[in-house]
């Protein structure tokens, strides 16, 4: 079997058109969705991600603010800035780009963002709401995975989903979203013994490990759906995922490439969440 490619760029573009249309409608009601991104220090990769988030905001007609703070900033100064944004009516989403410097407690920072403006979906209140099936801001990468499957017409209910990776940002919430949609979910991670025994049972395999070529054809059931969340560099410095694409795509039914798979969906869902937050202000 040769896998069908799930084209994240195409699906993201379709979703962004829908979001841009809704932004225009909201603007005519007098509300322009606004996103504030806080970048602490000078991490090169973070700077690129933040620029892409701002660019997406501009393209979709949203207001965006970038707050750049020095590496040496104290935790209380950062919390003060977040408190200011919590009370700013022109801002509907607040995102602190991670990682932040080690002298600042990430948990305290995330919990200081108003859950009503937590468009990353990282606040424990939003995570708890997601776990209990209530309305919540969903973490953007797992949310993007669910949209990719929905748009591709791949059913989830009753399927066996194996998630490899258990980060708070991707692995854990991805499994929860599949469970919410009635899948049977297995989590695997660095201490799982006999990984292949689990992954070969997967109807849908999600890999969010961060190691190039971690998943090969021997890990896959014939015809499985393979979602690659990895963003790695191979020996030649080229961007690649966790999955050995050439061999796995000969065995899988569907596969997301890297780049142009899950990646473009993450920022798209951030835009979706910011729009959702702005819409919420009309209802309250």
Residue ranges binding ligand GUN (CB under 6 A): 95-98, 120, 140, 169
Closer to ligand GUN by Cβ: residue 15 or 221: 15
Name the residue among 247, 244, 193 with its Cα closest to residue 222.
247
Closer to ligand GUN by Cβ: residue 140 or 252: 140
Which residue is at the shortest CB distance from ligand GUN? Answer: 98
Point out the catalytic residue in the list 15, 117, 118, 120: 120
Closer to ligand GUN by Cβ: residue 66 or 98: 98
Least distance in Å: CB of 98 to ligand GUN? 4
| Interior/surface letters 201-217, b for 16+ CB within 10 angstroms, e for the rest | ebbbbbbbbeebbbbee
Closer to ligand GUN by Cβ: residue 25 or 103: 103
- The answer to whether 60 touches 91, Cβ cutoff 8 Å, is no
Point out the catalytic residue in the list 81, 97, 117, 118: 97
Tokens of 198: 């689990």
- Indicate if 97 belongs to the active site: yes
- Indicate if 120 belongs to the active site: yes
Least distance in Å: CB of 224 to ligand GUN? 26
Q: Give dist(CA 200, CA 162) in Å, integer.
A: 9
Q: Give dist(CA 204, CA 225) in Å, integer.
A: 5
Least distance in Å: CB of 185 to ligand GUN? 21
Q: How would you list the strands of the sheet with 4-5, edge to edge?
A: 4-5, 254-255, 225-228, 204-207, 160-164, 184-188
- Residues marked active site are found at 53, 97, 120
């Amino acid at each position: 079997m040769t896998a069908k490619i799930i084209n994240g760029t195409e699906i993201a573009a379709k979703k962004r058109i829908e979001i841009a249309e809704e932004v225009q409608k909201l603007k005519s009601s007098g509300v322009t969705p606004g996103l504030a991104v806080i970048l602490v220090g000078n991490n090169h990769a973070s700077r690129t991600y933040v620029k892409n988030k701002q660019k997406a905001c501009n393209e979709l007609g949203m207001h965006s603010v970038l707050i750049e703070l020095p590496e040496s900033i104290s935790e209380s100064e950062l919390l003060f800035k977040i408190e200011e944004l919590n009370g700013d009516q022109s801002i509907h989403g607040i995102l602190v780009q991670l990682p932040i410097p080690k002298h600042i407690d990430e948990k305290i920072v995330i919990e200081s963002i108003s859950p009503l403006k937590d468009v990353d979906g990282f606040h424990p209140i939003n995570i708890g709401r997601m776990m209990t099936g209530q309305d919540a801001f969903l973490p953007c990468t797992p949310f993007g995975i669910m949209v990719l499957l929905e748009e591709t017409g791949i059913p989830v209910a009753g399927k066996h989903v194996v998630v490899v990776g258990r980060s708070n940002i991707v692995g854990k919430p991805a499994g929860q979203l599949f469970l919410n949609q009635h899948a049977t979910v297995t989590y695997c991670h660095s201490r799982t013994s006999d990984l292949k025994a689990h992954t070969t049972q997967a109807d849908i395999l999600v890999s969010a490990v961060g190691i190039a070529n971690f998943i090969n054809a021997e890990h896959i059931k014939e015809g499985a759906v393979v979602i690659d969340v990895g963003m790695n560099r191979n020996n030649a410095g080229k961007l690649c995922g966790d999955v050995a694409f050439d061999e796995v795509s000969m065995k899988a039914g569907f596969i997301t490439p890297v780049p142009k798979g899950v990646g473009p969906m993450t920022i798209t869902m951030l835009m979706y969440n910011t729009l959702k937050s702005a819409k919420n202000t009309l209802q309250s």
